[in-house]
Amino acid sequence: MKYLKSFAALVLSIPMMAFSASPIVCENESPGNTITSIWPSIYLSDPNTLCFDVKGWPEFSGTNCVKNGKNAKWTGLVIVWEDGEPQGRDSTHFRVVNPVVTDEQIQYRIEWSRGGEWRTMQNVAINRLTGDAVSYFVNEHGGESYQCRVAKKAI
């Protein structure tokens, strides 16, 4: 009976492990460059759903996950920097429109707004087969190169 309980617990936990979030860690390929990053952090809630780690932001509301070709919008209290200048801490709207989330690639653009005008914040392209990634911030030419991988789960 003791073994049956252990087996049942294991069988019931396998589906939960299979569908738990998979954080994506992207490290800048330029040695010593810790100023730029792919922000906000991203993870896969399943193989075809890209999520942004924003639920802990003050005043968070909205949808933080998106599938291929769909849209996501959320709001949070953040400081936005544009061209090296802080735009202040305020409630800010973000959106991701028509991203590409396939077995081969992840590609998206995050835009932000504090009024009627939407501004591009960051363009990201990740090759899911090699882990090679490029992030283009606003008005940046050439982009920053990253190496991305799915983080190992602790448990």
Summarised one tens digit per residue, pLDDT across range 38-69 is 999 999 999 999 999 999 999 999 999 999 99
Does residue 79 lie within any of the structural domains? Answer: yes
Q: Report if residue 4 sits inside a domain.
A: no
SS3 content of the chain, % helix, strand, coil (to 5): 10, 50, 40
Residue 9 lies in a domain: no
Q: Which range marks the domain in which residue 31 is found?
A: 22-150
Assess if residue 46 is contained within a domain.
yes
| pLDDT for res 153 | 67
Lowest pLDDT segment from 55-69, 107-121, 130-144: 130-144
7 part of a folded domain: no
Residue 155 lies in a domain: no
How many structural domains compose the chain? 1
Q: Does residue 107 register a pLDDT over 70? A: yes
Is residue 137 over pLDDT 90? no
Answer yes or no: is 48 within a domain: yes
pLDDT at 73: 97
Residue 142 lies in a domain: yes
Sequence-distant (6+) residues with CB within 8 A of 20 are: 153
Q: Is the pLDDT of residue 11 over 50?
A: no
Residue 93, pLDDT > 60, answer yes
- With a CB cutoff of 8 Å and minimum separation 6, the contacts of 12 are none
> For residue 3, which phi and psi values (nearest 5 degrees)?
-70, -35
